[in-house]
Structure 1
Amino acid sequence: MGGNLKRKKTTAADLPEELIRREILTRLPVRSLVRFKSVSKSWLSLFSEPRFIKQHFNYSTTQIPNDRLVARRKTKVIILSRYEEIVALDSTQCVEVVGSVRGLVCLTSFNKLSLWNPATHQSKEIFAPARFADRKYNIGFGFDTVSDIYKLVMLSEDLRFARVYYSNSDDWINISVPHNVFTNISGTTSTNSVTIVKDCPYWTCSRYTKDYKHMNVTALKFDAVRNEFKLMPGFFFDKVRGFEFLDMNDRLTLIVYEYDKYPFTKLMLNLFSLDGEEGCCVWTKMYTIGPFSPGSEVLQGFYSGEIVFHDHLGKFCCYNCKTDTIYKLPSTSSATTDASRLRCFRYTPSLAFIEGMKSVFGLTTRTRRASVQYYRVPHRLINGLKH
């Protein structure tokens, strides 16, 4: 055989096209794919295919360290992670975040709705029915996993019926709320809170008992696949305690606030999850954590089980249940002065696109990265919020 054999260098052109599509391109971040649209017409077409978009999104959701949340802070819409906060939209108008599902964020301003993809800078405006105008807390955002359709649902003020928007046809249809559901939640007080779990919105409803000593809290679910409303099991507790619903590990989770006696200097959080099959599910206590500073407000949970909240100064913080530590998240803005509850939802960047979307220009994006990363430098974590 004599001399040394020369090995042929493998290039990207030698790789099977199917391997490049399934094993390489689906693993790249959305930011890179948006840039690579200009590489060739075939890649531009590929990144618009529903099948590829779905494959890329399914892979992205398995990347737990890339947890992100989207929320409104003052006039800004921010995207928050453990390591950075990005100001994705800075508007002079009053913009509210309705929800976030599979890469799209629903925003509302007066009677105008918008389905917006922060990753691709594309958006589509939707005009709400006149009688539903400016009812941002009665709007839910979901996704039909069977038909691959984004849906908006708008509840009427009396909760007797709703209108549902279909992203594929750009139409609104009327549906009714079952009479037994309406009877069970009549007389309730809305907390202006919507939670999204597994692509379905849940509205929070609460009602005092006849003696006004206890409160019954429940959630009204909109099944985005079946176009049905379902009432979840109620939960009773002392009326002086606050509560929040949120999504943790794809389960509807109830957080009950428990303060010590006057002067309320200690705050504990009791976590309950809704377990079991639909139609036969019960509330199960997970654990109690704390103490936290009074005035802290839970916003959402990361997939890994960490709880994101903001303290009495309006700073975003994260609580790690495993290590029992609290650390502050990076922030581009000062403490919030907005007294209304922050609406915070999980967000996963994707190439999601619906017919009618247009590019949005003129957006300024500012990023604040964490100077210390949690997993690499654990000794720098701060737990100053704990007593």
Structure 2
Amino acid sequence: MSPSLPEHIILEEILTRLPAASLARFKFVSKSWMALFSHPNFVKSHINRKEDYLIRTCPGGIGILSRTTLTESHIEDVPASFDGLVGSVTGLVCGVSESRNCFILWNPILHVYKQIPLPKHSKYSLFGFCWDSATEDFKLVAKKFDSSSAVVYSTKTNRWINIRAFRIPYAGDEFPAVIVKGNPYWTGYFRSPGILKFEARTNRFTCLGLTCVAGKRYSLCSVNDCLARIEYSLTRGNCLELYQFNDGRGVWSKMYTINIKTTYIFTIPKCFNYSGEIVFSGCHEWCDTKLNEVESLEYEFGYELGPSRLHRYSYTPSLIILDGMKTSTRHLRDKHRKLRSVWCMRLPRKYRRSRHFSVYDISLPTYCGGNVE
């Protein structure tokens, strides 16, 4: 009997099931593994496993909430100019610079990013990140509310194009509330409460109607890759109603009402995309919609979520790298600092004051050199 498993079993049933973070480390074991884990077919197979997370901005970095462990981890090595969180699609995270003059596309697992400057001579007030599955193209969109045009960037062509768009009498947020099937949605007031959608495939903006109940607030979310909204009240926090949008008919259908046995006031609830559990961002709890049960969440770094402009998006770790991406200098610096600390402890005392050393880090394809303090 052969002592080893068939190659297709290893590739399709074992390696594609491993977490993206583990595969990111394994890439540097050998050249063949590097080629395998970077191959487009393997990257597609792995992303289809649909690991379920929520990602959000938090003080000093990014917080990633795991559905499996119900704990939130903190990533601090964000690109230096990363400010507002615009969205996340198939493992890539999109942000804008503090000055709003460029987008940043970032893969937190691989610690690589790419800056994309916005066209000059314009100040934009609406930003979006999307994915055209037909052409397998990540796109960026920016628009001024009172303008009849917008700009769209394609990562396939690496250029901006101008598109026609209607003027938006809009009072709302500059970043999407949710991204569903690669299309971003913004909430706001368009003469009446409504939702603005950008269709990635056709490069078109559309407005969706929305009927709101007086005294209630709502939050958009993605449930099984369908647009949904959660209605809730700030005055009596014991009931949530979830509605799903039918794209074909253009109507909202009520899915269910959840009675929660808690006195907390809900703020900005969100859903895990593939399981449907609802996270109450303001009260450190989550709800299993199947069992109608509430459990507490654990936060590794102990900070409050709180009601604010901080956005939460569905996130699936991946091995996707775009042309032109480079390793975060902060990640390299942190790696270097850890290496320097470890190697200083292992050097004989008389050599610890040496001004320079070089070591090879197996998780990076290059040598790291630096000064020993």
Q: TM-score range by the shorter chain?
A: 0.7 to 0.9
- Comparing 167-176 with 88-97, greater Cα deviation is found at 88-97
Q: Which runs of 5+ in 1 are unaligned?
A: 1-7, 209-215, 366-387
Q: Structure 1: which amino acid aligns with 2:183? A: C
Task: Say whether the 8 Å CA contact 1:37–1:44 is kept in structure 2.
Answer: yes
Residue 33 of structure 1, aligned match among 23, 28, 37: 23
Contact 1:243 1:255 in 2 (8 A): yes
2:87 to 99, 109, 114: 99
Which consecutive residues of structure 2, in runs of 5 or more, have no partner in the other structure? 336-373
Partner deviation per Cα, 1:182-201 (whole Å, 9 max, x = no partner): 4xxx5342245511001110
**Structure-1 separation of matches of 2:159 and 2:190:** 34
Shift of 1:258: 3.2
Structure 1 CA distance for aligned equivalents of residues 264 and 9 of structure 2: 53
Count of equivalent residues: 325
SS at match of 1:169: coil
| 1:57, distance to aligned residue in structure 2 (A) | 0.8
- Tell me: CA distance 1:207–1:356, structure 2 relative to 1, closer, same or farther (3 Å): closer
Distance 1:276 1:134 in 2: 29
**Does the aligned pair in 2 maintain the 1:74–1:338 contact within 8 Å?**
no
Is 2:241 aligned against 1:270?
Answer: yes
1:187 aligned partner: 169
Contact 1:141 1:153 in 2 (8 A): yes
**Change beyond 3 A, Cα 1:133–1:330:** farther
Shift of 1:52: 1.7
1:217 is displaced (CA, Å) by 2.9
Taking structure 1 as reference, are residues 19 and 93 closer, same or farther at Cα in structure 2, changes over 3 Å only? closer
Q: Which amino acid aligns with 1:285?
A: K
Judge conservation of contact 1:77–1:89 (CA < 8 Å) in 2: yes
Counterpart position of 1:297: 267
CA distance in 2, matches of 1:106, 1:93: 12
**RMSD of Structure 2 on Structure 1 (CA):** 2.6
TM-score normalized by the length of structure 2: 0.79
How far does the alpha carbon of each residue in 1:289-338 deviate from its partner, in whole angstroms, 9 at most, with x for none? 23454542134211211101222xxx532111222221122212334387
- Kept after mapping to 2: 8 A contact 1:191/1:206: no
User: Distance between the aligned counterparts of 2:190 and 2:160, measured in 1?
Assistant: 31
Structure 1 residues 231-272: Cα deviation after superposition (integer angstroms, max 9, x where no partner): 22x12234432222111221111222235xxxx354532221
Say whether 1:150 aligns with 2:120: no
Alignment of 1:9-88 (within 5 A): 9-12=2-5, 15=6, 17-58=7-48, 60-61=49-50, 66-82=51-67, 83=69, 84-88=71-75
Residue 163 of structure 1 is matched in structure 2 by 151
Counterpart check, 1:199 vs 2:174:
no
2: CA distance between counterparts of 1:349 and 1:204? Answer: 26
Taking the TM superposition and a 5 Å limit, the aligned residue runs for 1:96-135 are 96-110=84-98, 111-131=101-121, 135=125
Match of 1:246 in 2: 221
Q: Which shifted more, 198-207 or 238-247?
A: 238-247
Task: Give the TM-score normalised by the residue count of structure 1.
Answer: 0.76
Output the CA distance in 2 between the equivalents of 1:34 and 1:241.
44
Shift of 1:160: 2.2
Per-residue CA shift, 1:8-48, capped at 9, x if unaligned? 44225xx3x44433333222221222222223322212222
Paired amino acid for 2:246:
D
Q: CA offsets per residue over residues 183-228 of structure 1, 9 Å max, x none?
A: xxx53422455110011101113256xxxxxxx4322211112212
1:71-105 deviation digits (Å, cap 9, x = unpaired)? 01123211111313111125687722110000000
Q: Is the 8 A contact 2:84 2:97 kept in 1?
A: yes
Contact kept, 8 Å, 1:75 with 1:93, in 2: the verdict is no
Aligned 8 A contact 1:255 1:272 in 2: yes
In structure 2, how many angstroms separate the alpha carbons of the residues matched to 1:304 and 1:337?
A: 22
| Aligned-partner residue type, residue 331 of structure 1 | Y
Of 257, 268, 277, which residue of structure 2 is paired with 1:306? 277
Following superposition, the deviation at residue 274 of structure 1 comes to: 0.4
Report if the CA contact (8 A) 1:80-1:86 is conserved. yes
Amino acid in the other structure paired with 1:206: Y
- Separation in 2 of the partners of 1:132 and 1:74? 29
Structure 1 residues 231-242: aligned runs within 5 Å: 231-232=207-208, 234-242=209-217
- Provide closer, same or farther for how the CA distance between residues 281 and 153 of structure 1 changes in structure 2, counting only shifts above 3 A: same
Is the alpha carbon distance of 1:238 and 1:191 closer, same or farther for their aligned partners in structure 2, counting shifts above 3 Å? Answer: farther
**Quick check: 2:91–2:315 contact (8 Å CA) kept in 1?**
yes
C-alpha distance in structure 1 between counterparts of 2:21 and 2:302, whole Å: 27
SS of alignment partner, residue 349 of structure 1: coil
Q: Which amino acid aligns with 1:250?
A: D
Aligned-partner SS, 1:35: helix
Q: Report the alpha carbon displacement of residue 134 of structure 1 after superposing the two structures with TM.
A: 7.0
Between the aligned partners of 1:350 and 1:104, the Cα distance in structure 2 is 8
One-letter amino acid matched to 1:200: N
Identity %: 36
Specify the SS of the correspondent of 2:42.
helix
